[in-house]
Amino acid sequence: MCGIAGIISLNGRPIPGIEKRIRRMNKLLKHRGPDAKGYFISKNNLVALGNTRLAIVDAKNNFDVPMQSRDQKQIISFNGEVYNFQELKLNLEKKGVAFNTNSDTEVLLNGLENEGEDFLQKLDGFWSFAYYDESLNQVILSRDLLGEKSLFYYQNKNEFIFASEINPILEVAEESFEIDNESIVSCFRYRAAPPKKTLVKNIYRVEAGYGFKVFPGESKLQYKRFRKLKLEKWIDFFKSDPSEKIVKEKLEELIYRSCLSRVPAEVNFLSTLSGGIDSSLMNLYASRFGKNTIHTLFGKNNPDEAVKGNDLTEFNASAYVSKKLGSKHHTFTMYGDNVVSLYREQAANSFDGIFCEGSVHHRQLSLETNRLGGKVLLLSDGPDELLSGYSVDISAMQLNGFFTKRPILSKICSRLSSSSLGRRMLPTNLSRRITNWSHLSNAPFRFRPYHGGTTPDVLGTLFQEKEIKKTDNCYGTYHQDYKDIAQHLSISQKMALAYATTTMPDYFNLRSDRGAMRHSVETRLPMQNIELAEFMIATPEKYRFSKDRKNGKEVLRTLVKKHIGEKISSRSKYGFAIPTWMIKKFYKKFEFQEIIRESDAMELYPFKKEAKKFFMNPKEGRHQWMALCLIMVKERLKRKDYGFKDIG
């Protein structure tokens, strides 16, 4: 796990200030790789690659980064992990390839040198990298298929600049940047900028599974897909009507194998354990069914834990599973006066457009992992998106089935949900459910994703209607590259595909990467192994939902019931950490009203004139947080202040 950066000349002239600029980029990526840093500059000064290293694999070997081939004709700046690198290394050695290290970086370097971009199809892992082949005068940039790692870039007629984060690009582009007004609505609607875009105008992010071929000294660029989800195998598997026993065995095999491959062999790690379905399974398999003692981590995020029915509280459920597995369990408090500065700094670094406080919570998990001596943190993200775990999606599916049989009632409720007056006529909870359902369509397919919870009334208060419409398909629909296979999928499978191709890479994984890497901790996502993800997307509804259709992830619940017990398998879904400002005694310390009052950010198009008044309402804490992200980014762009430090 590392940070990567680079500058490539597009006009054939040497890059001005090349060494100074690449060193500045590395400096701003130190938190992503505190163990080593280095840079490469081509002899003709047309290419500069920077790299910082967090030593996880071959950790005791202090090899130079970026890594160079023996003849120094190929160079790679790598951020990520290749979990099957030992197997790939053996195959390359059989072809006569010699190795100097036992690192996955060298396997990737030699694999690309010997097999070209086709080698990427063999990788089990996550990454963003830049691979320079001097003999071909070509730089390949690539981002992994589910976007666990991010890759940002800026291009003008003279240069192509890229990095793992946006700050280094802003630092060396040597021009003024401003807010991308077209991204603002998406950031407030989905808590994320549109796929490809960021909150900063003219700075973009590479889509998951995509990358570039850049030819130093030439203005031509090739943007292309390097990897794609392959669902056909599992669609055929389920079409063969396998028994429930076979389905469960195959799923368990895939999860078990993925969890074991993501347990680091050389450095200390912790594994998050909330006591929910996903984290319980992840820890079950990572510990080899409790045979290996692992360190688990729970962040207490609410002084008044609420529970549903006879559920255990999050804290008690976490402790219950830990005891069952025999893990060394660590708990810490995520709320308090001391975290306000973390929120401020995280807001001020929202250049990527992530307006989600979850990035702060990942940062807190990272801080605690670091304090406990860990370098890797296992997260169980994935099944909620891929196996219908969110209550908003389950509810939309329930209502879809209900209204399909009642077309007249469907039309009435659809009309009610389409206007502010109509929504007010409905009870609040019913109004929310019907609003979610009203966004669900199969032809053309779209739905309201979990992170699209800003209500139509709030959006209408803040923004012009024509600008809201432009964001309708930013999220809640699958990537256009999958339109052929999507014809063979049910609505719930299409939801899973949409989450996998847009929301997971450009919202969930982006927020966890920025949060955790701020304190030099690598996050690993066992539930996002590609083959496992493909299996879950292709899973039919009878394995997704309980018989009464009140719960999702049903096939996972049966595994939890079998191995851990019904106390956990029957638990409801609880959210990941409430923000500290929602705890009444801490709200004032955020000074939302004072900051918003002094800012002119709400005067940007496409805000309406009444937007600022809305943001001054103390009841709008979540929207005030989003406003804070926008305000602080705008101020930093104005000051050209791109370093990392506590802000405010």
Helices 232-239 and 530-538: crossing angle, nearest 10°?
40
How many percent of the chain have pLDDT more than 70?
99
Tokens of 142: 């690539």
CATH number at residue 289: 3.40.50.620
CB half-sphere exposure, 634, CA atoms < 13 A: 19
- Taking the C-alpha atoms of residue 513 and residue 118, their distance in angstroms, rounded to an integer, is 27
Mark whether 203 and 253 lie in a shared domain. Answer: no
101 plus 175 within the same structural domain:
yes
Structure tokens at 578: 């409430």
- 100 alpha-carbon distance from chain centroid: 33
On the question of pLDDT at 304 being above 90, the answer is no
When divided into structural domains, the chain yields a total of 2
**What letter represents residue 106's amino acid?**
E
Residues 25, 141 share a domain: yes
In 10 A of CB 336, how many CB atoms?
A: 13
* The last residue of a domain, from among 195, 225, 255: 225
Pair 172, 255 in one domain: no
> Is 278 among the domain residues?
yes
Residue 545 falls within a domain, yes or no?
yes
- Token pair belonging to 635: 């101020």
Q: Whole-prediction pTM value? A: 0.96
Is the per-residue pLDDT at 413 higher than 70? yes
Query: Tens of pLDDT along 371-386?
Result: 999 999 999 999 999 9
The three-state DSSP-derived secondary structure of 489-520 is CCHHHHHHHHHHHHHHHHHHHHHHHHHHHCCC
Q: pLDDT of 569-613, one tens digit each?
A: 999 888 777 899 999 889 999 999 999 999 999 999 999 999 999
pLDDT at 429 over 70: yes
Whether the predicted pLDDT of 1 surpasses 70: no
Specify the higher pLDDT residue, 495 or 423: 495
Over residues 464-469, the mean pLDDT reads: 95
Q: DSSP state, 596? A: H
Looking at the fold, whether 217 and 86 belong to one and the same domain comes out as yes
Quick check: is 585 in a domain?
A: no
DSSP one-letter string for 221-273:
EEEEE------HHHHHHHHT---HHHHHHHHHHHHHHHHHHTS-SSS-EEEE-
Please compute the mean of the pLDDT values over residues 179-190 and round it to a whole number: 97
Tens digits of residue pLDDT in 11-49: 999 999 999 999 999 999 999 999 999 999 999 999 999
Measure the CA–CA gap between 452 and 611, rounded to whole angstroms. Answer: 19
**End position of a domain, from candidates 225, 240, 266:** 225
Asked if residue 244 and residue 143 are part of one domain, the reply reads: no
Asked whether residue 83 is domain-assigned, the answer is yes
Question: Residue 228, CB half-sphere, CA atoms under 13 Å: how many?
Answer: 13
| 82 and 100 part of one domain | yes
- Type of residue at 569: S
Mean pLDDT, the chain, whole residue set: 95
Q: Is residue 90 part of a domain?
A: yes
Mean pLDDT of the region 120-125: 98
Whether 66 contacts 105, CB under 8 Å: no
CA–CA separation, 256 and 259 (whole Å): 5
CATH value at residue 57 = 3.60.20.10
- The mean pLDDT value for 454-465 works out to 95
Is 284 part of any domain? yes
Region 96-125 average pLDDT:
97
Q: Stretch 266-271: mean pLDDT, rounded? A: 98
Domain boundary (225, 256, 288) is at 225
Q: Is the peptide bond before 383 cis (omega within 30 degrees of 0)?
A: no
Question: Tokens for 484?
Answer: 């052929």
**Quick one: 300 and 181 in the same domain?**
no
Same domain, 330 and 380: yes
Nearest CA to 476 among 507, 510, 446?
A: 446
Please check the confidence at residue 313 and state whether its pLDDT lies above 60.
yes
Q: Give the pair of three-digit tokens for residue 82.
A: 């290749």
Residue 342 has pLDDT above 80, yes or no: yes
Q: Do 98 and 174 fall into the same domain?
A: yes
**What pLDDT is attached to residue 648?**
36
Contact status, residue 471 vs residue 190, Cβ threshold 8 Å: yes
User: What is the extent of the structural domain holding 359?
Assistant: 232-386+499-580
- Please tell me whether residues 220 and 242 are part of one structural domain: no
Pair (249, 174) in one structural domain: no
Q: Which tokens sit at 99?
A: 């190795």
